[in-house]
Structure 1
Amino acid sequence: MSTNGPQAPSDFDFILGDWTVRHEKLDGIFSGADTWTTFDGLSSTRTILGGFGNVEDNLLQHSTGDFRAAALRSYSVADAEWSIWWLDGRNPTALDTPVRGAFADGIGTFLAEDVLHGVPIRVRFIWDATGAEPTWQQAFSNDAGLSWETNWRMTFRRA
């Protein structure tokens, strides 16, 4: 394989390998909920596209039943941004709208415009790779980004 051209980004190298995951999901979106459901999971991430992408395979061990999901990430050299898609195994024919963004000082911020139950929303993912246990969180905004409601948090521990 040729090694000419740009070098693959190292932004997501922190998440490569096998992990146990602690999930926390808010018990209602835009409903004023303040309780969370906590459950465990497993995650395994490998590079693809010669390092310009990766795929994360997940087993989510929810109290309502286990399910699988995958995150697909790719890096655009032209835009200096990552795109992240989510594929839920319970709906295997559709990828979620991708979030796009980049890392600065170990914090990755990724945004998208989407629709939830017919209402336009903004989606935000924040990856924090600054500690020994990386974290991820998802937040939604239904007021064009003026306020955000975090609705899913994950903490990753090396398996």
Structure 2
Amino acid sequence: MSSTASHPAPTDFDFVIGDWTVHHERLDGIFVGADTWTAFEGLSSTRKILGGHGNLEDNLLRHPSGDFHAVALRSYSVADGEWSIWWLDGRNPTHLDTPVRGAFREGIGTFLAEDVLEGVPIRVRFIWDATGFQPTWEQAFSNDAGLSWETNWRMTFRRA
């Protein structure tokens, strides 16, 4: 096991450190052929933890059905050269989502996981794009082992 104390902290997520307003778009149905989206706003604040080998993102989502809080926890494995990302939804505070794992290449981070949605095995993909002035994130699911992907949530971050 490698200690993070003897390794420089990664800078991959430095672009998201700080306070943000966030424009969310969520697909109105998953794996049902939906083509309409619900848009809403939110707030996000991210700070480094674990000596820079992790970060914690605190979110307020102002969904039309009601406001809720959520947290993204990210940690970097020096041994693997990969990040793990967990999601905790304040509406279900006893359950951490299955972590996605991955890395950045030229400002694009791709993170994957195997999960189950309503009893069906799926693949989950997060893509972070830190190449532009406003970072973006999207989530997609696949129910055919990654042959096709359905994007179901998009976020655009603007400095607060």
* TM-score with structure 2 setting the length: 0.97
Q: Deviations over 1:122-155 (max 9, x none)?
A: 0000000001100000000000000000000000
Q: Give the C-alpha shift of residue 88 in structure 1.
A: 0.1
What is the CA–CA distance in structure 2 between the aligned matches of 1:63 and 1:102, rounded to whole Å? 33
Partner in structure 2 of residue 14 of structure 1: 15
Q: Give the C-alpha shift of residue 121 in structure 1.
A: 0.1
Partner in structure 1 of residue 67 of structure 2: 66
Gaps of 5+ in 2: none
What is the CA–CA distance in structure 1 between the aligned matches of 2:155 and 2:57, rounded to whole Å? 14
Q: Is 1:144 matched with 2:130?
A: no
What is the CA–CA distance in structure 2 between the aligned matches of 1:128 and 1:4, rounded to whole Å? 28
The 5 A counterparts of 1:112-131 are: 112-131=113-132
* TM-score with structure 1 setting the length: 0.98
- State the identity as a percent: 82
Matched residue of 1:41: which SS? strand
Q: Give the C-alpha shift of residue 36 in structure 1.
A: 0.1
Partner in structure 2 of residue 40 of structure 1: 41
Matched residue of 1:14: which SS? helix
Aligned residues: 157
Gaps of 5+ in 1: none
Partner in structure 2 of residue 154 of structure 1: 155
Q: Which runs of 4+ in 1 moved over 4 A?
A: none
The one-letter code of the counterpart of 1:42 is: L
What is the CA–CA distance in structure 2 between the aligned matches of 1:117 and 1:63, rounded to whole Å? 23
